[in-house]
Amino acid sequence: MLSVGVFYNLLRKKINVETDIGLLIESLFILPVILIAFYFIVQNNVNDFDLSNPNLMFILMLAGPMTVIPLYLYVRGVELCGLGPTGMIFYITPTLQFLLGYFLYNEPLNVEKLISFIFIWIAVFIYLKDIYENK
């Protein structure tokens, strides 16, 4: 089964629009859901965006750019380097987290985790070998 990220990347490749236009279209797709959510937030009086708390208001205003900027950079990076290297990052990051947890935080390592870790990296090496042989 394809993950959402892989499906999203494949769909972006098929549509073939610029990064900023694609991000605008994605934002327009989610706009009705956001408007409904805002309606219920205001109706239930749980809106924290208020002039009486300018610090929280400032943080809430930064939530949009802090979400859009990494998304834009991610999509642009996938366009520049392709899906292969991007997919490898999805294996490297959890591996570094695993090593950090084991060596720095002394998390326990049982046999099942070690075997699954070895199998995952065997599959990654088979994938890499296949990529370099087909070039």
In order along the chain (135 residues), what is the average pLDDT of each group of 10 residues?
A: 61 72 80 92 82 85 90 85 79 86 91 88 83 73
Q: What is the pLDDT of residue 1?
A: 47
Give the global pTM: 0.52
Q: What is the pLDDT of residue 35?
A: 93
Domain range annotation of the chain: 1-81, 83-135
Q: Which of 6, 9, 1, 2 lies closest to 26 in space, CA to CA?
A: 9
